[in-house]
Amino acid sequence: MSENLFFSTSEALTRVFEGPEKLLEIWFGPTPESIPEISSKFDNDLSPRSGLRLVERDVWDEMLDIVKCHVLNVVHNDYLDAYLLSESSMFIYPHKIILKTCGTTTLLIAIPRLLEIASEYCQLNKVWRVFYSRKSFVFPEAQLGPHKDWNEEVKYLDQLLENGAAYTVGKSNGDHCWFLWLNSPKDDPEPPCQESTCPLDETNSLLNDFQDITIEILMTELSSETLNKFYYHPSEGNSGTEGGARVDQKTGLRNIYPEAQLDSYLYEPCGYSANGLLKDNYFNIHVTPEHNCSYASFETNIPVPVGHGTITDVINKVIAIFEPGKFSVTVFKTREDKENKISLVASVDAINEYSRKDRILYEFEVYDLIFAHFEKNKTNKQ
Ligand SMILES: C[S@+](CC[C@H](N)C(=O)[O-])C[C@H]1O[C@@H](n2cnc3c(N)ncnc32)[C@H](O)[C@@H]1O
């Protein structure tokens, strides 16, 4: 069968898949050093492990059964474990877990088991912070349990965790609405004042040097040329990990962070996922190339100085590969001083060939959040 024939089968054209992910972060402390040191051991390749990284694989497998997804591959370095999942990614640090799942997975339902695992195996009995976010679904009616509706998800989280706050960010009657639930611990030391220019509490050494950033780029309406690159073409070789590595090269994804350890996967008949590790940071890329619901996401916690052009550079590199018709960017960053905050906001100002439709800044207790949405300019091509 020729590649074009494969690509244009009615099955490939009519398949639908809910690409937009549910993203959950549970932190038991701000840093690996902030959690109780219960024990550490050495795994086969002698890298030291502590906290959540001591949990055995079969325990995670059983937790992921609740979510309705499974592990495809695992890579690790000295700092974290990166699980590539049938529906996206999981990253395990000693002090936090990041679980991102798409399709009709039931992510929130796994929280009670996750908290139990942390307590049972790591003596992590107290949650420091939880973040849950997602973009609006394309097919909300296909979702299960609390995921059918944002209010249901909020109700579920509020029953499980204290001190939560829920936000609907962006145009709620458009297709790019973004939802966020986050909490703050009741006994988190208060910053000295609520002014946005205030430095974090100088007496609070736990938070003083605490730096964290998460950048997400959520893209829809990818160009047809792009979509084709994320289909499995049997004449090119195998799918799976081998196919993933081929896609990394031919799309340029390999060059976003050339020095990173990359674990990628090409699905049949289409679809792609990748986890990347760079020292104590990660990134992940997921692609749903079905023509009628195309979607790609990029997420990273690799530090980017807020100075001139840097977050913008990451955005430009990523959208050059996917050529989306529309995309939203979220940047969650530990609170900035006034000057850096201006740079942060400016970093999602203008993107070539796109018009910015939204830009919103939230100032939370420890974090700033910037959300922006862009749409490709129409060309006069007939
Ligand atoms: C898991 S991947 C990436 C999901 C990610 N959330 C995204 O950005 O779309 C989803 C893509 O892989 C395809 N796919 C093929 N086999 C799959 C499988 N067994 N499980 C999940 N997705 C599969 C889906 O149709 C979809 O195009």
Q: Which residue has the higher pLDDT, 310 or 66?
A: 66
Torsion angle in degrees (nearest 10) through CA of 363, 110, 89, 178? -40
Give the tens place of pLDDT for each residue, 303-331: 987 655 589 999 999 999 999 999 999 99
What mean pLDDT is reported for the chain? 89
Question: Over 50: is that where the pLDDT of 222 sits?
Answer: yes
Distance 96 CA to ligand 1 centre (A): 25
Residue 202 lies in a domain: no
Phi, psi values for residue 359, rounded to 5°: -155, 125
Closest ligand 1 atom to 69 CA = 20
Give the model's pLDDT for residue 336. Answer: 82
Handedness of CA 182, 136, 147, 151 (dihedral sign): positive
Is residue 190 situated within a structural domain?
no
**Nearest ligand 1 atom, CA 297:** 8
pTM (whole model) above 0.95? no
**What is the predicted ipTM?**
0.93
From CA 294, how far away is CA 40, in angstroms rounded?
43
Q: Are 238 and 244 contacting, i.e. CB atoms less than 8 angstroms apart?
A: no
Please tell me the distance from the alpha carbon of residue 294 to that of residue 223, in angstroms, as a whole number.
9
* Ligand 1 and 358: CB distance under 6 A: no
Clarify whether residues 155 and 32 are in a common domain.
yes
* Ligand 1 atom nearest to CA at 273: 3
Q: Is 32 in the pocket of ligand 1 (CB under 6 A)?
A: no
Same structural domain for residues 181 and 227?
A: no
CATH number at residue 360: 3.60.90.10
Contacts of residue 76, defined as CB under 8 A and 6 or more positions apart, other chains included, come to: 47, 82, 277
d(CA 95, CA 54): 11
Q: What is the domain count for the chain?
A: 2
In this structure, is residue 203 part of a structural domain?
no
Could you tell me the residue range of the domain that residue 305 belongs to? 211-377
pLDDT tens digits for 12-30? Answer: 556 789 999 999 999 999 9
Distance 260 CA to ligand 1 centre (A): 23
Pair 52, 90 in one domain? yes
Name the DSSP class of 293.
G
Strands 96-101 and 81-85: unpaired
Q: What is residue 337's predicted lDDT score, i.e. its pLDDT?
A: 85
